[in-house]
Amino acid sequence: MNDSIDLQKLKNSFLGEELDPGEEELLAAAMESRSLSDGETLVEEGEEDSRLFLLAEGRLEVLSSGHGEMEHVYLMSPGEFAGTRAFVDRLPRQATLRARGEAAIYSLTPEALESLLEDHPRLVYKVMRALFRITHVNLMRMNKEAQELANYVYKRGGRY
């Protein structure tokens, strides 16, 4: 087991909520832990990095260079994930992740998850279900934000 991974934080996340105690330990052993200082960059937009990130502690700022300059997109809170697309599709990063204050990150590589497939297929199945739920939650949040923006732009719903 990876002693630097807090099993309770893993269990309380989408990734760990369906896992049995033995499965939690197997997944934690496949993960890596990293601490970030304020302003430290975890990953750069465009970088070839397919790790899935769980923000265990602190905050991560999501930045994108949509108009040539780095722009704030979102501020992640503990328990949130980043990198599902890069993890599943192994495509370059679409955003930069930077610590806002001290932060603790747990990461999982596709290769580490695949190494569990033969001996622990149910664990891998549960992780893939969790990835679907994470993606769905992110999509619902973005849809809500888009609707709020549309309400503001078109002066609908008394929210302007």
In this structure, is residue 158 part of a structural domain? no
φ, ψ at 135 (rounded to 5°): -65, -40
pLDDT of residue 3: 45
In this structure, is residue 44 part of a structural domain? yes
In this structure, is residue 160 part of a structural domain? no
Q: Which domain holds residue 77?
A: 7-153
Model's pTM, two decimal places?
0.82
Number of domains into which the chain is organized: 1
Contact 78, 36 (CB under 8 A): no
Residue range 53-106, pLDDT digits in tens: 999 999 999 999 877 788 998 899 999 999 988 998 998 999 999 999 999 999
Residue 15's domain is classified under what CATH number? Answer: 2.60.120.10
In this structure, is residue 159 part of a structural domain? no
